[in-house]
Amino acid sequence: MTSLIPGRISVVIPAYNQEAYICDALTSLVRQKLGSWELEVLVVDDASSDATAALVLSFHNALPGLKLIRLEQNSGVSAARNAGLEQVTGEYFTFLDPDDWFSPEHLATLAEALTELHVDFVRCDHVRVTGTTRVIHRAPQALRGMPLNPADDIEPIDSPSMVDYAFVWAGMYRTALMRDAGLYYFDQALNSAEDRLWLWKLHLNTGRYAVLSSPSVFYRRGLPGSLTQVFDERQLGFIPAYAQVLAEVHAHPEAERHLPKALRQFFAIVCHHEKRAKHYPPEVRLAMKQKLRQVFTTIDAPTARQVALEMDVARRRHILSFLQPGTIGAAK
């Protein structure tokens, strides 16, 4: 395991066929106003077939802390992030998607808050970019710039909370703590929802964090290659991801408190995918039904029913169809 260097910020960028955007991401790092902070940039080329790697290499003079890591075969965003995390040497680390970018003050603002507030991680607002339209999207926590308990911000159940704000790049993290607590790496078996599992684990297993009023990440939406625009088996990653989320919650000392939120979030995403299922190939729709039935046999029946009954009529009916007698397991 690499030793960590105080005062250094590491940025991990997973990239696959991003020649159209990678220069924007790296240029935003060249323009960072770092002050006394030192920058390390770890770009993981996930076996791109375009000019992504060549474009990254063209930034070596402009970004002295730049390192290109090449994967021999395309392995997905979780594996790419993990490959970068393995070589992180910064006291703090964060993520940047290759089609997004940071404002010039972003990294220093987050690092200084981490240091001054003595917290385990910080989260921030972001700007959603759709074509030429930009809209600030705020993290769902009104208390800003002060230490908070991450587990307290798992709730409320019936409105957005910080575990619903599932953007790992909208934050910065204390490297040593994440490593020591076993929270560092992503599950490489997941094709989607890996961010949600990772953030749930942070909220369940760390002690202090803060939310900053700093909408300084620019997030491009609706791009052709994004997961929201594809309709194949990769969409089903949310099922094993939430099976793990529910297992993490069950193992937590305050499981009874947090389980309703985990179930409601899971149920909402189930309904979202059912609406999109008409676009999925028949074999993907069938696999989704089968995998969901399997997960529903393992969850807490009374709590699940209560959560479902408190949802809107359409989603309630859909979730209750999975909760028929004999379909779901006994309470744990």
What are the Cα distances from residue 175, in Å, to 85, 90, 241? 9, 7, 23
Task: Select the more confidently predicted residue: 150 or 225.
Answer: 150
Q: What percent of the chain has pLDDT over 90?
A: 81
Measured between its terminal Cα atoms, the distance across the chain in Å is: 38
Tell me, what's the pLDDT at 325?
56
The one catalytic residue in 46, 120, 195, 300 is 195
Residue 125 is a catalytic residue = no
Q: Of 272, 8, 299, 48, whose CA–CA distance to 166 is shortest?
A: 272
Q: Own/partner pairs for 179-185, CB < 8 Å, 24+ apart?
A: 179/1, 181/205, 181/206, 184/85, 185/82, 185/85
- What are the tens digits of pLDDT across the range 67-89? 999 999 999 999 999 999 999 99
The answer to whether the predicted template modeling score (pTM) of the entire model surpasses 0.85 is yes
What are 38's strand-pairing partners?
Answer: 8
**pLDDT at residue 289 above 80?**
yes
Tell me, what's the pLDDT at 18?
97
Segment 1-17 shows an average pLDDT of 94
- What are the tens digits of pLDDT across the range 254-283? 999 999 999 999 999 999 988 887 778 888
- Read off the pLDDT band of 285 (50, 70, 90): confident
What are the Cα distances from residue 157, in Å, to 9, 83, 307? 34, 35, 9
Measure the CA–CA gap between 136 and 270, rounded to whole angstroms: 27
Q: What's the order of all strands across the beta sheet hosting 217-220? A: 101-102, 217-220, 126-130, 133-137
What are the Cα distances from residue 210, in Å, to 36, 60, 87, 165, 279? 22, 34, 26, 14, 39
- What are the tens digits of pLDDT across the range 162-206? 999 999 999 999 999 999 999 999 999 988 899 999 999 999 999
